[in-house]
Amino acid sequence: MSAIEPFHLAVPQAELDALRTRLAATRWPDRETVDDWSQGVPLERLRALCAYWRDGYDWRRCEAALNGFGQFRTVIKDLGIHFLHIRSPEPNALPLVLTHGWPGSVLEFLKVIGPLTDPAAHGATRGDAFHLVIPSLPGYGLSDRPTRTGWGVRSIAAAWIELMQRLGYGGRWVAQGGDWGASVTTALGHMAPDRLAAIHLNMPLAFPNPEDAATASEEEKAAAERLEHYNMVESAYARQQSTRPQTLGYGLADSPAAQAAWIFEKLYAWTDCNGDPENALTRDEMLDAITLYWLTGTGTSSARLYWESMDSAFFDLEPVKIPTGASIFPKEIFQPSRRLIERRYPDLIHYNRLDRGGHFAAWEQPALFVDELRTCFRKVR
C-alpha cells in the first residue's frame, strides 16, 4: 500500500513571472465580426481578462486557500493522485467523495467544504455532517499526468475505491459528481455497490431513445431541443478533445491566453450568468481555475480523458441499481426528465429541479448544492 503524504503547494515565483511575461507578449487575433459570443470569446472580453490576470490577479491567495485545507497525495497504479481530505468534527459523519469534471478542479468545491463537514457551525443539523474526500482527476490540476493510455472513467473509479479504502472508508460511503464526475460516480455505482450507500449527480447521464419522441412530455421536448443545440453548436470542444487532444494541446501548453479562452468560453456557456460569466463567478474565481490549469500544464492531459472515455462514459447506459439522487440545475447542459433518469437509475431516492444555477453547481450555488446533498443522503444515513 502506497503512503499518503501531506502536500503543500508553493509555486515558484519564477513561474508566475513567466506567466506575466507570456501574457504581455500575446499575439492577438482579429476582432470577431459579430457583436456577441457566437464566434467564441469576444476579443475585448479576453483582453480585459488577461490584462487583469497579468497586472491585478493574485495566485498566492488561491494557493493559501488550498493550503488551508488538508491536501495530500498518494500513488495509485503508478500515478500520483492529489486530493483534499477534510474530516468532520462529528464522529458519525458520513464519508463522501466529490468528483469534479472538465474544465473544473477541486476549486469548485471550496465553498461547500465548511457547510458539509461542520453543519452545526453553519446553522444546520449535526447529523448532516460528512467527512470529505475531494480528488483531482488524473491529468487534472495537481494529480500526475498519465504517460500511458488506460486512464479512463472505470480506471479512475477503481482508483477512488482504492483511495477510500486507504483512508479507512472502505466500509460504507457515498459519492457525488457532475460532468466527468457524474461518469466516475456512475461507474462507482456499478463497481462498488456493496460499499456505496448511495450516489448523487448534478448531471445524471440519462438520454432519450428514438422511440421516446412519440410519448415525450413538454419538459422532455425542451430538454431534447437543448441537447440538439448542444450537439450542433456547443460540442465542438468535445469533438476536438475526444479525437485530437494532442493537436489542441500545443496551443494550450504554449499560450496562457489560449488556455484562458478555452475555459472562459465554457464559463460563459455553462453557468447561469445571463450573458456575462461575471454574474455567476468572480473574475478571481475564474482565474483561479484557469491559472491552476496553466501552472500545472494540464490543458492537454485533461483533454485526453475525452479521448479515453467519451463513448464509453456517455453512451453505456447500463442501469445503476444503488440508491441515487439527481438535482437538475436550469443551465445544465443535459436536463433529462425524471422518467429518463429512473430508467437509468431505477432506485431514485431524490429528484429536484432547481430554479437557478448551472453546470458548476457547487461553485455557482453552494448553498443550494449543500442542501441537495443533505436532503438526498439523509435517506441513507
Q: What is the pLDDT of residue 113?
A: 98
Which pTM does this prediction carry? 0.96
pLDDT at 187 over 80: yes
- Mean pLDDT for 145-174 is 96
In a domain, 315, yes or no: yes
In a domain, 23, yes or no: no
Please write down the HEC assignment for all residues of 96-163: EEEECCCCCCHHHHHHHHHHHHCHHHHCCCHHHCEEEEEECCCCCCCCCCCCCCCCCHHHHHHHHHHH
Q: What is the pLDDT of residue 66?
A: 98
pLDDT band at 314, cuts 50/70/90? low
- Mean pLDDT for 69-77 is 96
Kindly report, residue by residue over 197-232, the tens digit of the pLDDT: 999 999 999 988 888 888 999 989 988 888 888 889
Q: For 93, which DSSP code?
A: P
In a domain, 20, yes or no: no
Q: What is the pLDDT of residue 85?
A: 98
Q: What is the pLDDT of residue 313?
A: 63
Q: What is the pLDDT of residue 271?
A: 98
Q: What is the pLDDT of residue 42?
A: 98
Kindly report, residue by residue over 335-351, the tens digit of the pLDDT: 999 999 999 999 999 99
Alpha-carbon Rg for the chain in angstroms: 20
Q: Which residues pair with 198 in a beta bridge?
A: 174
Q: What are phi and psi of 134, to 5 degrees?
A: -130, 90
Q: Number of folded domains in the chain? A: 1
Q: Which residues pair with 200 in a beta bridge?
A: 176, 325
The pLDDT > 70 percentage for the chain reads: 98
pLDDT at 170 over 90: no
Q: What is the overall mean pLDDT for the chain?
A: 96
With CA atoms as reference, report the closest residue to 325 among 346, 351, 344.
351
In a domain, 345, yes or no: yes
In a domain, 29, yes or no: no
> Which residue range forms the structural domain that includes residue 239?
4-14+40-206+218-380
Q: How many CA atoms lie within 13 A of 289 on its CB side?
A: 25
pLDDT at 183 over 80: yes
pLDDT band at 1, cuts 50/70/90? low
Chain center to CA of 20: 27
Q: What is the pLDDT of residue 311?
A: 75
In a domain, 95, yes or no: yes
pLDDT at 147 over 60: yes
pLDDT at 27 over 60: yes
In a domain, 351, yes or no: yes
In a domain, 370, yes or no: yes
For residue 138, give the CATH number of its domain.
Answer: 3.40.50.1820
- Mean pLDDT for 90-111 is 97
For the chain, how far is it from start to end, CA to CA, in angstroms?
Answer: 30
